[in-house]
Structure formats: structure tokens, C-alpha cells
Amino acid sequence: MKHLFFALICAVSFSLVAQENLPDAEIKTLDGNTTTLKKISEENELIVVSLWATWCVPCKNELDAINEVYVDWQDETDVKVFAISVDDSRTVNRVKPLVNGKAWDFTILLDTNNDLKRELGAATIPLTLIIKNGEIVHRHSGYTPGSEEELFEEIKKHS
């Protein structure tokens, strides 16, 4: 029993450490170009990544709330937000119309095969990450109204 517990602790510890490294999974822009989270992070010192889907109400609520304050966040911290849809092949065609209707000011990307979601170990969405200099420095699952204020406090700690 002691060995099983030790193995479990090691596995959990390893998965937490492994998540600090950015995945290499390919994601696509809305116009079909391919990139990776690692590449985006190399081009931007401080980013927020939100995994979301068109069918996820809390996800859309979070992105709406962030969009309302995004210009202020950029002015104060120079942070960039990347909203990565995990809609699969059945629902990905809903992303562009939804985004156009919302007029969100941040970059929208697609993880249609859920490769990035798997590599990040995201069991649920929304999953919000703060990445600084290629390293995940904050991770939060779920959304409740006001969470964007807590997120901004975390962003300011790392800016």
C-alpha cells in the first residue's frame, strides 16, 4: 500500500512539473495557418490562453467579460489574449460566426483535434493559463462572474 501511495504521489508530481513546459501540439488560425503555443509564447512575453468551445456557456461568459476589459489590460500590462477553441469537427464551423457576432478583440485559434487540450491535461473548460516567457505561471479551470478580476491580479503579478 505504501508503494502504491508513493507511486501515485510521484505520478501527480511529475504531471504537475510536465505541465510547466509548453506543448508542441499544432493549432490553427481562423484562416488556416498553423502555429503552436510555444511559438506564440516566443513572440509574446506575457500571454493569457483560454481554452473554450462554442457550446460552453461559462467559456463564452468568461471571454465576454475579458473582452470588456481587454484594452485596459493591454494598456497596463501589454498582455495578449489567445482564445483557443476546442470545438471538434462537428461544431468547429460555429466558431467564426460566433466570434464575428461577439467582436472579441483577441486572437482566436482552433484545436479541432483536441491535441493541445490533451497535452495540457485539461479535463474541463474553460481552462485559463497565464504564460510568461514560455512557462505556465498560472492555471485556472472554470468561470464564475468576477473571475476575470482575479485573473487580472495574477497578470499584474507577472507583468
pLDDT tens track for 102-144:
999 999 999 999 999 999 999 999 999 999 999 999 999 999 9
Element (H, E) at 34: strand 34-36
pLDDT for 20 equals 59
CATH superfamily of 22-158: Glutaredoxin (3.40.30.10)
Q: Which residues pair with 127 in a beta bridge?
A: 51, 141
Distance separating alpha carbons of residues 14 and 16, to the nearest angstrom? 5
Cα–Cα distance, 92 to 53 (Å, whole number): 9
Q: 29 and 111 in contact (C-beta within 8 Å)?
A: no
Residue 27's pLDDT is what? 98
Query: Confidence band (pLDDT; 50, 70, 90) for 21?
Result: confident
Q: Kindly compute the dihedral angle of the four CA atoms of residues 150, 120, 18, 10, in this order, to the nearest 10 degrees.
A: 90
Rounded distance between C-alpha atoms, residue 68 and residue 132, angstroms: 23
pLDDT of residue 32: 94
Q: Using CA atoms, how far apart are residues 14 and 105, in angstroms rounded to an integer?
A: 36
Global pTM?
0.86
